[in-house]
Chain A
């Protein structure tokens, strides 16, 4: 995909938005020009602070989920016995929409960032776990044998084979779950907090009825999701160059 095409698509969407706002002519749909002006004005002020809090919550969740799910996935991928024990649990828990657990987690863990991070981590955790496990299972036995014959024991196999083999799986999992993660972040930020873009959007829209600000918050949240997506994409393109040139293995 070319950068120019993405820019062009952005422009078209803004034009459509503008047209729709011009036709509807109501305060609940301000024009993109007005929203962008509000966005730029408020970003250095409170909007920026809310955005940073949200970014922190998602980023911490991503890091925590990678740190927890990668080793777990690698262990399950290496041990058929453990996988047999855990696979039914994963099978049951993976499709549960974690967002319905938001109230429960909040009840147990209370206010603050931690319960929100826990919720998003749970979503990413299963995605990463499953993809990393499958990547580890898919490593060819010939590869393991020949690396072992070079002197690698368990630790070196982990370092030189399993870990690099799981990187594309981690990145794919994170990329696939960013949309859900940001959506759940919004829900989680509706409860028990006074910071974060979710809170900001809801508060501006339902309490203050300041629609341009609400839209500015929505734009910020979209940019947060997009930014994370592009970030993962960039990392993937740099780290997984081999996967794009390689159609066979």
Chain B
């Protein structure tokens, strides 16, 4: 599905964050990327999103080299991703409007995109309902809670029918109950839609709960690919299991060793 081949990346005038770094994930996998702040987690996500470009090596998604944002990749950030002047509904529609703006050109919009406005509205209504924000669709981002804003951001991404969803600390600004509820819901929806997920987090518990596979990053430069298998289904009960506790402590030990 996605692959980094010998990727080297450095911000201008700084030491490289990644050096000949390789990593691959298969379709339908749910990855958590875990590491301390400054380890390059967000950089990795921006590279996958096509918003940053490596100095050497290649990023390949679905046999295609990525050098610009790819229409079928969705990106959800921690905060401030919604247009403050647009309602929840308009925000959820934004991606579809952008697609209409360009037409199916294969560059900004998938070539096979054919969507009339009735279908588009049905899709918007569907995801608003699935994320439980249909009743606040007419409100502005400034009028709703942080959890509701993230739900809107997730709906906006899923409306576009992505096959790869990248998330950068999407739940870290939320309080614990909201966060746990939204983690489970997001994973269920992604599984339902057959989406490959890469979620970046600094939170060990989140990585253990969300990630069926975990990529551990360390202090830059990242050269080795340290991954952990954590096969499970991210149901609420999993949080109470010993397997979950064990995954957490394994991750913690791994992190401490670095």
Contacts and interface: CB of A to CB of B under 8 A. Distances in A.
Contact of B80 (A140, A243, A246): A140
B51 A148 contact: yes
Contacts, number: 92
B85 A147 contact: no
B102 interface: yes
A151 B108 contact: yes
B145 to A, nearest CB: 11
A142 B79 contact: yes
A149 B75 contact: yes
B195 interface: no
A245 B51 contact: no
Contacts of B79: 142
Contact of A242 (B86, B102, B156): B86
Interface in A233-249: 240-243, 245-249
Interface stretch (B92-100, B206-214, B230-238): B92-100
A72 interface: no
B71 interface: yes
Interface string A137-176: 0001011011111111101100111001101000000000
Nearest to B75: A149
Interface of B: 46, 49, 51, 69, 71, 73-86, 94-95, 97-99, 101-102, 107-109, 140-143, 153, 156-157, 160, 166
B76 A146 contact: yes
B69 A148 contact: yes
A247 B144 CA distance: 11
Contact of B142 (A145, A156, A242): A242
Given A245-B142, A248-B142, 5 more contacts: A143-B80, A143-B82, A149-B75, A165-B85, A245-B143
A157 to B, nearest CB: 9
B91 to A, nearest CB: 10
Given A149-B74, A156-B98, A247-B142, A242 B85 contact: yes
A215 to B, nearest CB: 43
A240 B85 CA distance: 7
B221 to A, nearest CB: 24
Interface string A7-31: 0000000000000000000000000
B108 A245 contact: no
26 contacts: A143-B83, A145-B46, A145-B77, A147-B83, A147-B94, A147-B98, A149-B49, A149-B74, A150-B95, A150-B156, A150-B160, A151-B69, A151-B71, A151-B98, A151-B102, A151-B109, A156-B101, A156-B102, A159-B101, A160-B94, A164-B85, A164-B86, A242-B86, A242-B142, A246-B142, A249-B84
Contacts of A164: 83, 85-86
A135 B108 CA distance: 26
A165 B97 CA distance: 17
A241 B87 CA distance: 10
Query: Which interface residue of B46, B49, B51, B98 has the most chain A CB atoms within 10 A?
Result: B98
Contacts of A247: 142
Contact of B85 (A151, A159, A243): A243
B47 to A, nearest CB: 13
A150 B74 CA distance: 7
B84 A242 contact: yes
A249 to B, nearest CB: 4
Contacts of B108: 151-153, 156
A174 B97 CA distance: 30
A166 to B, nearest CB: 11
